[in-house]
């Protein structure tokens, strides 16, 4: 399992794709960070905040916005990375190597999943340096940052699991990418649809981004965490079944 994960991670960094994604995300979020920080220190906003007893602080304002933007950007770039997980192995005919080796299907899928998660943890670690740099000039609410971080990791995990499953369905990475992107978009749309209707509708519950918002606000609710854990487990199990079914 771990050797599959490390191989996955290593081969990601052997391709220019991973590096360019790391670079692009860093630049985009850097710009967003700078912009929100600049906005935050404007005198008129500060005056507004000072007059409001429930005003968001530095963490909630700058860091919260940062995490919110991250989730949207990840939604867009994630299919590019998950598309090749299984479909490329199938296309390059390297899948028999894993299937004929003494490793179980579960280890193959978990290895792939963890390898991809490893990449995103590296990405997150780099992105976290930006909020942490605020420590030079102020204090941060670490409880809220931790809750946001857990939320983002769970959110990424859910997307990776879904992307991995779609990748097991096809032999063409580009097909996997487009389908994954469409499904992500659909899950995102649920939020809009849910917002339009009643607050507790089914669509609202299914919306993948919806369960992430409270965590950013520092509201750690078991229901949201369980939603993501179930989501991840469901698609990992489906992937294992799909790969297993290929032998029949």
Partner 1 sequence: MNSDTLVSVQNLSRFYGDFCAVKNISFEVKRGQILGFLGPNGAGKTTTMQVITGTLAPTMGQISVAGYDILDDPLKAKAAIGYLPEQPPLYKEMLVEEYLRFCAKLHRIPRSDISNAIQHAMEQCGLQEVNRRLIGNLSKGYQQRVGIAQAIIHTPSVVILDEPTIGLDPIQIRDIRHLIRQLGEEHSVILSSHILQEVQAVCNHVQIINEGELIFNDSIDGLLSQMQSTHLQIALHRPPEIQQLKQIQGVEMVEVRENNRFYIQHTATESPAEALVEKSVEGNWGIYELIPEHRSLEQVFMTLMGADEVPPDSLLEKGENVTLEKGEGTLENGVNLKKMNGIKVNSIVEGA
Chain residues in the site for partner 1 (CB under 8 A): 3-4, 7, 10-11, 14-15, 92-104, 247-248
Residue with smaller CB distance to partner 1, 11 or 42: 11
Q: Compute the least distance from the CB of residue 98 to partner 1, in Å.
A: 7
For residue 224, give the nearest of 202, 237, 236, 206 by alpha carbon.
Answer: 206
Looking at the Cβ atoms of 97 and 132, the one nearer to partner 1 is 97
Question: Which C-beta is closer to partner 1: that of 62 or that of 114?
Answer: 114
Tokens 């190597």 locate to 97
Closer Cβ to partner 1, 84 or 211, answer by number: 84
Q: Least distance in Å: CB of 206 to partner 1? A: 35
Q: What is the largest CA-CA distance in the chain?
A: 68
- Judged by beta carbon, residue 3 or residue 189, the one nearer partner 1 is 3
Tokens of 224: 């949201």
Half-sphere exposure of 86 (CA within 13 A, CB side): 28
Q: How far is the CB of 71 from partner 1 (least distance, A)?
A: 30
**Cα(89)–Cα(92) distance, integer angstroms:** 5
Phi/psi at 56 (nearest 5 deg)?
A: -70, 145
Phi and psi (nearest 5°) for 10?
Answer: -65, -45
32 vs 28, 144, 240, CA distance in Å? Answer: 6, 19, 39
C-alpha span between 56 and 110 (Å, rounded):
39
Q: Least distance (Å) from partner 1 to the CB of residue 200?
A: 45
Q: How far is the CB of 21 from partner 1 (least distance, A)?
A: 16
């Amino acid at each position: 399992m771990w050797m599959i994960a490390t191989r996955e991670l290593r081969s990601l960094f052997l391709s220019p794709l991973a590096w360019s994604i790391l670079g692009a995300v860093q630049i985009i979020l850097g710009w967003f960070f700078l912009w929100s920080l600049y906005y935050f220190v404007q005198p008129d906003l500060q005056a507004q905040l000072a007059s409001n007893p429930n005003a968001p602080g530095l963490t909630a304002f700058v860091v919260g916005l940062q995490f919110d933007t991250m989730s949207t950007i990840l939604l867009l770039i994630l299919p590019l990375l998950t598309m090749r997980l299984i479909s490329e192995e199938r296309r390059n005919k390297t899948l028999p190597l894993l299937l004929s080796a003494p490793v179980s299907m579960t280890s193959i899928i978990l290895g792939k999943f963890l390898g991809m998660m490893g990449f995103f943890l590296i990405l997150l670690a780099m992105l976290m340096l930006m909020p942490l740099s605020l420590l030079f000039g102020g204090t941060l609410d670490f409880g809220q940052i931790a809750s946001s971080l857990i939320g983002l990791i769970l959110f990424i995990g859910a997307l990776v699991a879904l992307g991995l499953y779609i990748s097991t369905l096809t032999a063409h990475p580009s097909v996997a990418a487009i389908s994954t992107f469409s499904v992500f978009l659909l899950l995102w749309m649920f939020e809009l649809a849910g917002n339009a209707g009643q607050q507790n509708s089914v669509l609202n519950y299914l919306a993948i981004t919806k369960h992430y918002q409270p965590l950013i606000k520092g509201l750690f609710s078991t229901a949201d965490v369980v939603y993501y854990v179930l989501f991840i487990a469901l698609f990992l199990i489906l992937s294992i079944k799909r790969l297993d079914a290929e032998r029949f």
